[in-house]
Amino acid sequence: MKIKAHHIASACGLVVFLAAGIVYQLLPSPIPARLENQAYVWQTRWNDEVLAAIDRASPVLDGFMLLSGEVDYDGKNFLFSPAYPTPKAGGKPVTMVLRVKTRFSNALSSGKGIEAKNFLTGLLSPIAQLGATPAPGPRIQIDYDCPTGALQDYGGLLKGIRSTFPGAVLSITALPDWLKSVAFSGICANLDYFVLQVHALERPITFDAPYTLCDAEKARAAVRQAERFGRRFYIALPTYTYRLVFNEKGTFQTIGAEQSPEFPAVPGQTRDVAADPEKTAGLVREWHVRPPRNCLGLVWFRLPVDSDRFNLRWPAFEKLLRGETPKFGVTPEIRTPSPGLYELWLVNSGDYTPAEGLQCMVRWNPTAILAYDVIGGYRAKPGRDANHIVIHGVAPCENAQPVLAAWFRVKSEFNNNKDAVQCGPVFAQ
């Protein structure tokens, strides 16, 4: 059988066309000239301090993602706790975020699935108006830590939201574990982008167990997985601190963060956990040099406000935006307020307060010491030999007054002897 030349040319053209289409699908989408920086604002009620924080951040941020309220399901009823943001604050694009608690999945997967969808969609209508802009449309985001096994139900919910708000810029927050699920591709089909959360805390077990809010290697791996979906995304990085509370037996009791009520005065121990600013800065620098494919930028949880108890301060946050490492600046001072008395004071002139506390090596002349003690919640442990002790405790806040950590009484012949008590460098634990 003879095949004419023009048939061969047509077939070759078809192959080239199909190959070009495949290659096009594999190519990364256009990368913005630079990665954006946005920040979540998570206060339920705004005051002058929140507005001041937004005004301060507006020149260096590309937008804000504002909490608009929280949805819950108690097994019988759907609940909504509204927040009261000011969408026009800062003059930058805003995305209105609806927080949905995990147990909402119980409604979606039960006979109340349709009612759950209608309840959520009804809430989004006024929220979408708050985030409305002339172009490209209202920006709405669902922050829902859906169980991975229930992602198919979540996909159905998002499909309904997309059909109800076809002109909206629709996004969700996504957990790294979802990226391994076949259902996530279906979820992405109804989104304009997603926000990949590379920060989380596993349920605490014991007081001394290692905890971290952002494991740098796991974050890199999650971002590599996210690149494969062909959907634009942001990376969410943490600025906040969690406080873990354990009872006297070391059993975990509760967890607190910025919006939590004051902890009850019960016997036990507390431990603060935060991301390592040095490692976070390293990730930012890395992603600025080589932006991940399809990545629009970084979103920071949360915008620092001056009255925050469990968050980075502005100087540290501003440096992280640029990929600079915030300065650790706790230094020791030995003071001699009276003959025979030495005091160890700690001063924090750095950019942040290390959440896990600090340790400071003290070297002394054993023949000089009559007595010593630690105060202010600090603890002393034996050092590498009889000439040393190690002092552990909470770091003083940055730019706060110096903190007295320990005192030492020495024999009279060692008055004003600089070798009687010396202090080495201070390290974050």
234-260 average pLDDT score = 86
Same-domain check for residues 366 and 271: no
In a domain, 20, yes or no: no
Q: Is the pLDDT of residue 415 over 60?
A: yes
pLDDT of residue 204: 84
Same-domain check for residues 387 and 257: no
In a domain, 2, yes or no: no
In a domain, 129, yes or no: yes
Write out the two tokens for 46: 């705004």
Token look-up 């020495």 returns: 410
In a domain, 4, yes or no: no
pLDDT tens per residue, range 274-295: 889 999 999 999 999 999 999 9
pLDDT of residue 267: 66
Write out the two tokens for 191: 């989104």
Same-domain check for residues 196 and 291: yes
pLDDT of residue 219: 96
Q: Which of 3-7, 323-327, 339-343 has the lowest mean pLDDT?
A: 3-7
pLDDT of residue 264: 55
Q: Look over the chain and give the mean of its residue pLDDT values, rounded to a whole number.
A: 87
Same-domain check for residues 307 and 353: no
* pTM of structure: 0.86
In a domain, 272, yes or no: yes
pLDDT tens per residue, range 303-317: 999 989 889 999 999
Identify the residue with better confidence: 425 or 71: 71
CA distances (Å), origin 192, targets 294, 315, 367, 403 = 12, 33, 71, 50
Residues sharing a CB contact under 8 Å with residue 316, sequence separation 6 or more, in sequence order:
277, 326, 351, 352
Q: Could you tell me whether strands 379-382 and 388-393 are parallel, antiparallel, or unpaired per DSSP bridges?
A: antiparallel
Same-domain check for residues 164 and 199: yes
Q: Residue 193 region, left (φ>0) first, then alpha (ψ -120 to 50), else beta?
A: beta
Residues sharing a CB contact under 8 Å with residue 402, sequence separation 6 or more, in sequence order:
333, 345, 346, 347, 396
pLDDT of residue 25: 38
pLDDT of residue 200: 85
Same-domain check for residues 243 and 370: no
Same-domain check for residues 335 and 317: no
Report yes or no: 118 and 87 within 8 Å, Cβ to Cβ: no
Q: Is the pLDDT of residue 425 over 80?
A: yes
Q: 21: how many CB neighbours lie within 10 A of its CB?
A: 10
* Final residue before a domain boundary, out of 303, 321, 339: 321
CA atoms within 13 A on the CB side of 116: 24
Same-domain check for residues 204 and 346: no
pLDDT grade, residue 263 (50/70/90)?
low
173-200 average pLDDT score = 95
Same-domain check for residues 198 and 59: yes
The per-residue b/e assignment along 169-197, b for 16 or more CB within 10 angstroms, e otherwise, is bbbbbbbbebbeeebbebbbebbbbbbbb
| Residue 273 lies in domain | 28-321
Write out the two tokens for 409: 């009484």
CATH number at residue 343: 2.60.40
pLDDT tens per residue, range 3-37: 344 333 444 443 333 333 333 333 444 445 589 99
pLDDT tens per residue, range 91-127: 899 999 999 999 999 988 888 889 999 999 999 988 8
Amino acid present at 337: P
Indicate the SS3 state at residue 120.
helix
**Dihedral over Cα of 213, 63, 309, 104: its sign:** negative
* Final residue before a domain boundary, out of 270, 302, 321: 321
pLDDT of residue 247: 85
CA distances (Å), origin 225, targets 200, 331, 364 = 17, 42, 53
Same-domain check for residues 120 and 50: yes
* Final residue before a domain boundary, out of 300, 321, 342: 321
In a domain, 242, yes or no: yes
How many domains does the chain divide into? 2
Q: Is the pLDDT of residue 355 over 90?
A: no
Same-domain check for residues 337 and 283: no
Residues sharing a CB contact under 8 Å with residue 134, sequence separation 6 or more, in sequence order:
none
In a domain, 19, yes or no: no
Nearest to 121 by CA among 76, 168, 77: 168
Same-domain check for residues 308 and 243: yes
CATH number at residue 296: 3.20.20.80
DSSP state string for 297-350: EEEEE----TT-SSB--HHHHHHHHTTPPPPP-EEEEEEEEETTEEEEEEEE-S
**Dihedral over Cα of 379, 382, 386, 391: its sign:** negative
In a domain, 9, yes or no: no
Q: What is the DSSP letter of 5?
A: H
